[in-house]
C-alpha cells in the first residue's frame, strides 16, 4: 500500500493544476448522496473498509488470503490518506477496470471483477456518497504478502485469465425485475466472490460462476447457487428467499457463517423490491438435478457404528430444538430433514455448525435471533462425526458419512 | 468474516410435511386445522433465545462445572453489556465468543445482559484455598487493603466492601473459580482483555506479580456469599481513580 500511497501522492500533484478534480467539492446533490449510500450498502463496502471499532470507511481491516495479508484502504475523502483527490472519472475507472488513477493494478481481493458491471450512474452516486462522509486521516497500512505474490505485476496474469471488463448487459428475454436482480447479484452484491470456486491462483472461472466452493482461510463452504442439491433456490418460494436474504431466517433455514455478515451489513438494508428482484434472479439460477449417490469416505461397517452413536447424541443434544424427525421449529430452528445445506457433498458446514454453533445475524426483521450452542467443548471428534453422519443420512437425507478426522481438522478453523 | 456463505435449507416439499402431519390432524379431529398446519414454534422467550450460552454458562447464567467459564447471573447489566460489546468488536479476545456475537446489534446484547443480570441463583459453595498460609495472607491483604507502596488499590475499593460490585458496570468477584480469576488477571496483564480508557483494571493488573494473581484468585474463590448478593447502587462510594467503564 505504501507504493499506492506514493503513487497516489504523485498523481495528486499532477492534478493540482487540473480543475476536474475540484468540481467534486461543490455541495453534492442530496438525493444522489442518498442513492449512493444505498448502493454502497448493496456493495457491502463497509464490511471490508472499516476495522472493528475503527473509523467508518477508513480501511485498515486485515484480509487474510492464501498469499498473505492484505489491508483494506481508506476510502474517506481525506486528501492525503483517502480518496479526497480522486475524480468521479477515476473512481469509475477503478470500479470498472480494477486500476488506480495512476494505472496501478488493484489486488482482486477488491471485487472489481463484479464491480465492473456497475453502471456509470451508480458508480457516480457511490462516489458522491463517499465524498459526503467525514474525512479520516489514516494512512493505508502496507500489505503483508509473501514472495512472489508481493509483485503486483503478477496481477496482470491473473487479469488475463479471470477478469473480463464490462458493465452489466440486460437480457432482453428476461423481465425488468430479473435483470435488476441479476445486476445486483452479479455486480455490487459480488456474490461470485464466494459462491464460485477459487482455484490455486486465486481466480474464479466465469464458466463456473455460482457453482460454489470452499472459502479460503475461513473454512466455510459457500454452496452452489446453481445446483438445487446445494443452495440452488429453484425449489424455494420467492417469499422464502426474500425472508432468508432480508431477515436472515426463513422456513427453509437460517443464515450462518460468512453469509451472516452479508445479511447483517448489506442485505437487510435493501428495499423489498430489490430483495425480491434478487430472489427472482437467484431462483432462476437453480437447476434441478437428481440426487447423486453419496460419496462415502468411511467404510460401511464404521458408518453403521457412527449411526448408532449419532442417533443417541442427536436424541440427547439436538432433538429438543430440531425435533426427533428433524422437522425443526422453523423459522428459528431450521429443519434438518431434507435440508440441502446438510446433505451437500462438502460436510464442512454441518460439522462447523455442530462445533461452533452460532447466531443468525440480528436484523430489523429478526432483531433477537435464537442461537445454536457450540458443541466443540462437549463432544469428541468421534461424537461430532457420528451426529453429523446421522443428520446427513436420517429421515431420507442423502449425504455421505463423515469421519472423526474430518471433524478434527475443522476444530482449528479460524473463528474471527 | 468478510465473505459470502450459505444457508440451512430443506428441499422437502411442503405437501410431504403435511402428509407427516396427517396422523396428528386425525387425532385432533376438529377445528384447529390452521394450528396443526403450523409447524411447532420455538418458545418466544429470551431464555430460549439464549440457549446457545447455556453449555458454558448455565441456563440462567449460574455457571457450569467448567472452571474457566464464568458465572454471569447477577452481574451488573452495564458490566455484562460492556463485555458483550467488547467480545463482538474483538477488543476482548476469546474466539468462540467473538464468533458467536459478531453479527448481533448492540440493543440485543443489552437485552442479553439485562436477562443475566436479573437472575439470582445462589452462589456455588466456596472452595478452600489450595495454597500456603503466606499466600492466603497476601491474598487477603491485597483484597482488603491493597499495597500502597506498589500503587495497588484494594480489590474492595472498587468492587465493594462485600465484593458484590457496583451498578452499572463494576462486577462482583464472588462465585467465580480461582482458575477463571487468574486467567482474567493474566489477560489484563498481557493486554488480551482491555476496557474503555482509562483502563483502570489494566493499570492495576500491570502491577501484579504471578504470586499476587495466584493469591488473590485463591482467596476470592474461598469467600462465602454475603447476605446480600446484589451489586450496590451507583455512586455508593467513590473510586480511587478514574475508570472508563464506570464514569463517575
Residue A167 lies in a domain: no
pLDDT at position A1: 35
pLDDT surpasses 50 at B35: no
pLDDT at position B118: 97
User: Are A80 and A141 in the same domain?
Assistant: yes
With CB atoms and an 8 Å threshold, state whether B5 touches A220: yes
In angstroms, what separates the C-alpha of B16 from chain A's closest C-alpha? 11
Which of these three, A285, A317, A344, is where a domain ends?
A285
Q: Which domains does chain B have, with CATH numbers?
A: 44-121 (1.10.760.10), 123-248 (1.10.760.10)
Chain B contact for A323, CB < 8 A? Answer: yes
User: Are A254 and A340 in the same domain?
Assistant: no
pLDDT at position A162: 86
pLDDT surpasses 90 at A286: no
Q: What is the mean pLDDT of residues A190-195?
A: 90
Residue A290 lies in a domain: no
In angstroms, what separates the C-alpha of B77 from chain A's closest C-alpha? 17
Q: Give the pLDDT confidence of B89-125 residue by residue, as tens digits.
A: 998 999 999 999 999 999 999 999 999 999 999 999 9
User: Are A78 and A190 in the same domain?
Assistant: no
Cα A106 to Cα B60: distance, rounded to the nearest angstrom: 50
User: Are A76 and A214 in the same domain?
Assistant: no
Q: Give the pLDDT confidence of B131-143 residue by residue, as tens digits.
A: 999 999 999 999 9
pLDDT at position A201: 60
User: Are A131 and A185 in the same domain?
Assistant: no
pLDDT at position A414: 84
| Average pLDDT taken over every residue of chain B | 86
pLDDT at position A231: 73
With CB atoms and an 8 Å threshold, state whether A334 touches B8: yes
Number of domains in chain A: 3
In percent, the amount of chain B with pLDDT more than 90 equals 75
User: Are A189 and A279 in the same domain?
Assistant: yes
Q: Give the pLDDT confidence of A205-252 residue by residue, as tens digits.
A: 666 777 778 887 788 988 888 887 777 788 899 999 999 999 999 999
Reported confidence tier of residue B68, pLDDT bands at 50, 70, 90:
confident
Residue A354 lies in a domain: yes
Which of these three, A132, A162, A192, is where a domain ends?
A162
Residues of A (39-78) whose Cβ lies below 8 Å from B: 47-48, 52-53, 61, 63
Reported confidence tier of residue A67, pLDDT bands at 50, 70, 90:
confident
**Least reliable range by pLDDT among A196-200, B13-17, B100-104, B196-200:** B13-17
User: Are A15 and A41 in the same domain?
Assistant: yes
Find chain A residues with C-beta within 8 A of B104's C-beta: 359, 361-362, 369
CATH of residue A230's domain is 1.10.760
Residue of chain B nearest A252, judged by CA positions: B9
Residue of chain B nearest A47, judged by CA positions: B2
In percent, the amount of chain A with pLDDT more than 90 equals 68
- Give the nearest partner residue to A373 out of B3, B52, B101, using CB atoms: B52
User: Are A37 and A128 in the same domain?
Assistant: yes
User: Are A14 and A136 in the same domain?
Assistant: yes
Residues of B (3-62) whose Cβ lies below 8 Å from A: 3-13, 16-17, 20, 39-42, 46, 48-56
Residue A415 lies in a domain: no
Q: Within 10 Å of residue A361's Cβ, how many Cβ atoms?
A: 26
Domain of residue A400, residue span: 300-410
Q: Is the ipTM, as predicted for this complex, more than 0.90?
A: no
Q: What is the mean pLDDT of residues B44-67?
A: 95
CATH of residue A379's domain is 1.10.760.10
In angstroms, what separates the C-alpha of B44 from chain A's closest C-alpha? 10
- Give the nearest partner residue to B107 out of A251, A340, A367, using CB atoms: A367
Amino acid at each position: 500500500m505504501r507504493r499506492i500511497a506514493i503513487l497516489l501522492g504523485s498523481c495528486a500533484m499532477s492534478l493540482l493544476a487540473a480543475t476536474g478534480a475540484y468540481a467534486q467539492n461543490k455541495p453534492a446533490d442530496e438525493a444522489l448522496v442518498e442513492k449512493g449510500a444505498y448502493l454502497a450498502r448493496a456493495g457491502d463496502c463497509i464490511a471490508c473498509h472499516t476495522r472493528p471499532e475503527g473509523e467508518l470507511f477508513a480501511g485498515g481491516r486485515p484480509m487474510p488470503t492464501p498469499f498473505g495479508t492484505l489491508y483494506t484502504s481508506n476510502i474517506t475523502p481525506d486528501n492525503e490518506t483517502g480518496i479526497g483527490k480522486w475524480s468521479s472519472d477515476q473512481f469509475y475507472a477503478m470500479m470498472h477496470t480494477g486500476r488506480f488513477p495512476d494505472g496501478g493494478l488493484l489486488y482482486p481481493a477488491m471485487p472489481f471483477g463484479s464491480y465492473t458491471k456497475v453502471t456509470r450512474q451508480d458508480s457516480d452516486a457511490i462516489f458522491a456518497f463517499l465524498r459526503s462522509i467525514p474525512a479520516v486521516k489514516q494512512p493505508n497500512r502496507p500489505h503483508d504478502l509473501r514472495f512472489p505474490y508481493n509483485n503486483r505485476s503478477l496481477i496482470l496474469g491473473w487479469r488475463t485469465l479471470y477478469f473480463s471488463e464490462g458493465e452489466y448487459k440486460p437480457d432482453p428475454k428476461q423481465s425488468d425485475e430479473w435483470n435488476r436482480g441479476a445486476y445486483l447479484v452479479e455486480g455490487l452484491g459480488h456474490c461470485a466472490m464466494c459462491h464460485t470456486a477459487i482455484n490455486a491462483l486465486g481466480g474464479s472461472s466465469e464458466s463456473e460462476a455460482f457453482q460454489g466452493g470452499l472459502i479460503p482461510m475461513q473454512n466455510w463452504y459457500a454452496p452452489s447457487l446453481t445446483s438445487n442439491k446445494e443452495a440452488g433456490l429453484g425449489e424455494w418460494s420467492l417469499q422464502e428467499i426474500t425472508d432468508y436474504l432480508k431477515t436472515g431466517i426463513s422456513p427453509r433455514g437460517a443464515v450462518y457463517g460468512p453469509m451472516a455478515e452479508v445479511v447483517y451489513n448489506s442485505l437487510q438494508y435493501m428495499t423489498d423490491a430489490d430483495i425480491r428482484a434478487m430472489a427472482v434472479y437467484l431462483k432462476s439460477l437453480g437447476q434441478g438435478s437428481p440426487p447423486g449417490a453419496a460419496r462415502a469416505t468411511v467404510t460401511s461397517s464404521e458408518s453403521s457404528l457412527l449411526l448408532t452413536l449419532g442417533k443417541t447424541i442427536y436424541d440427547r443434544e439436538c432433538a429438543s430444538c430440531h425435533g426427533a424427525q428433524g422437522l425443526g421449529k422453523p423459522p428459528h430452528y431450521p429443519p434438518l430433514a431434507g435440508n440441502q445445506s446438510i446433505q451437500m457433498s462438502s460436510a464442512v458446514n454441518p460439522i462447523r455448525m455442530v462445533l461452533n454453533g452460532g447466531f443468525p445475524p440480528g436484523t430489523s426483521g429478526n432483531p433477537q435471533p435464537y442461537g445454536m450452542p457450540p458443541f466443540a467443548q462437549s463432544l469428541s471428534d468421534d461424537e461430532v462425526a457420528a451426529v453429523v453422519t446421522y443428520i446427513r443420512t436420517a429421515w431420507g437425507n442423502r449425504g455421505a458419512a463423515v469421519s472423526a478426522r474430518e471433524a478434527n481438522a475443522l476444530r482449528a478453523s479460524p473463528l474471527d | 468474516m468478510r465473505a459470502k456463505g450459505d444457508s440451512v435449507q430443506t428441499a422437502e416439499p411442503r405437501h410431504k410435511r403435511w402428509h407427516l402431519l396427517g396422523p396428528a390432524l386425525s387425532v385432533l379431529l376438529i377445528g384447529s386445522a390452521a394450528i396443526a398446519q403450523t409447524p411447532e414454534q420455538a418458545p418466544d422467550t429470551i431464555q430460549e433465545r439464549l440457549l446457545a450460552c447455556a453449555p458454558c454458562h448455565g441456563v440462567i447464567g449460574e455457571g457450569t462445572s467448567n472452571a474457566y467459564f464464568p458465572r454471569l447471573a447477577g452481574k451488573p447489566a452495564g458490566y455484562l453489556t460492556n463485555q458483550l460489546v467488547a467480545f463482538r468488536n474483538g477488543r476482548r479476545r476469546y474466539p468462540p465468543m467473538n464468533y458467536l456475537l459478531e453479527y448481533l446489534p448492540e440493543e440485543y446484547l443489552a437485552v442479553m445482559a439485562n436477562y443475566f443480570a436479573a437472575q439470582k441463583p445462589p452462589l456455588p459453595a466456596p472452595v478452600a484455598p489450595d495454597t500456603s498460609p503466606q499466600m492466603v495472607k497476601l491474598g487477603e491483604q491485597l483484597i482488603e487493603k491493597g499495597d500502597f507502596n506498589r500503587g495497588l488499590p484494594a480489590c474492595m475499593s472498587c468492587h465493594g466492601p462485600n465484593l458484590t460490585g457496583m451498578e452499572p458496570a463494576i462486577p462482583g468477584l464472588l462465585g467465580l473459580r480461582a482458575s477463571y480469576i487468574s486467567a482474567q488477571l493474566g489477560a489484563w496483564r498481557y493486554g488480551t482483555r482491555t476496557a474503555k480508557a482509562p483502563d483502570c483494571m489494566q493499570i492495576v493488573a500491570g502491577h501484579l506479580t504471578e504470586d499476587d494473581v495466584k493469591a488473590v484468585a485463591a482467596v476470592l474463590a474461598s469467600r462465602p456469599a454475603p447476605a446480600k448478593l446484589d451489586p450496590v447502587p451507583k455512586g455508593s462510594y467513590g473510586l480511587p481513580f478514574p475508570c472508563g467503564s464506570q464514569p463517575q
